[in-house]
Each structure stands twice: as C-alpha cells, then as structure tokens.
A = this chain, B = another copy of it.
C-alpha cells in the first residue's frame, strides 16, 4: 500500500506505460518516492488484476509496442479513499545519520570525507530542484489549483535540501574540517 498509491497519483496526472513511469520515478515524483522498473511492472500487473487500471496496447512505428495504463473508476475511487486516510508517521531511516553517530567507533577521517560528499550531492540536488521550480512555476504568485500541489511538494524538497546542506556545514565546522565547494 505504498508504491501503489504513488503510481496511482502519477497515472491520475497522465496515463503512461511501465517504462514511462520508470522514467518519472527517476525525476519528478521520484524525488519523493524511489522505484525500479521491476517493482513498477509487478505493481501495475497487480493493480490491473484488481481492476484499478486498464491497459491499452499502443504501437508506434519504429518502436516496441507499449502498454499504456489508465485509471478506472475503481482506481480513482481507491485514490480518493487513500487521500482521505490520515498519513501514518513515516518511519525514518537514515544510513547517514547512523554512520555519523558511529564515527567514533570507525574511520573518523572517512566519515568526515563522507559528510563533505553528501554536502556536494545535496548542493547539486538543490540546484536541480530550483531550476525545475523556475522552469515549471515561473510565477509562484499566480498558480492554478492544479499546479499548487506539485509546487508545494517541490518547495518541500527545496527546503529539505537547504536544511541538509546547512546541517553538513554545521558538522564540518564542529569537526574542524574544510568545506569542499564555495557555496557559503
């Protein structure tokens, strides 16, 4: 009951094949939920069997045929039911935090290098999100009801990345380590 709903939301936005979905899960919706194509194909088959989805074979010349999935009335019903449910507390799971906490029992220098790497990665991701935001929502003051949710979720991603970078900065300062790139 997890990837299922992420796929339902994505298909509600626009019908797609398993392959298309796999690419979406590498960006846009994938910023907040990761999934591989193997997982996606399996869940699509299960949801089609459950009657939440309908598949249509689409052939384009010079390309393999694809199965495009669309929500059925039952699928839309399930999506509505799910949105009305209160979200359970998300189970936190941060390898990185555990590693920082365990640095004194391992390779201190390597962990500091890892913090610096993590910082770089989040700087890149922040830049990516900000570019995405400017591109899709150039005028945040004038958003339609349809655009608002995607915008707000992206704002959450931007805030999260900023916070992560600031946290890495605080750690590198406290550990007396230099920061690898300019930014701050």
Interface residue ranges, A against B (CB under 8 Å): 2, 5-6, 8-9, 12, 29, 31-34, 76, 79-107, 110-111, 113-114, 117-118, 121, 145-146, 148-150, 152-153, 155-157, 159-160, 162-163, 166-167, 170-171, 174-175
The residues of B that contact A160 with a CB separation of less than 8 Å are 160, 163, 167
Q: Is the interface of A mostly helix, strand, loop or mixed?
A: helix
Known: A105-B12, A148-B175. A88 touches B95 (CB 8 A): yes
Q: For the complex, give the distance between the alpha carbons of A62 and B92 in Å.
A: 36
Contact with A97, one of B32, B85, B92, B97 (Cβ below 8 angstroms)? B32
**A169, chain B: closest CB distance, angstroms:** 11
The residues of B that contact A89 with a CB separation of less than 8 Å are 121
B149→A170 contact, CB < 8 A: no
B94→A79 contact, CB < 8 A: no
Closest 5 CB pairs of A and B: A83-B106, A9-B102, A32-B97, A84-B107, A84-B110
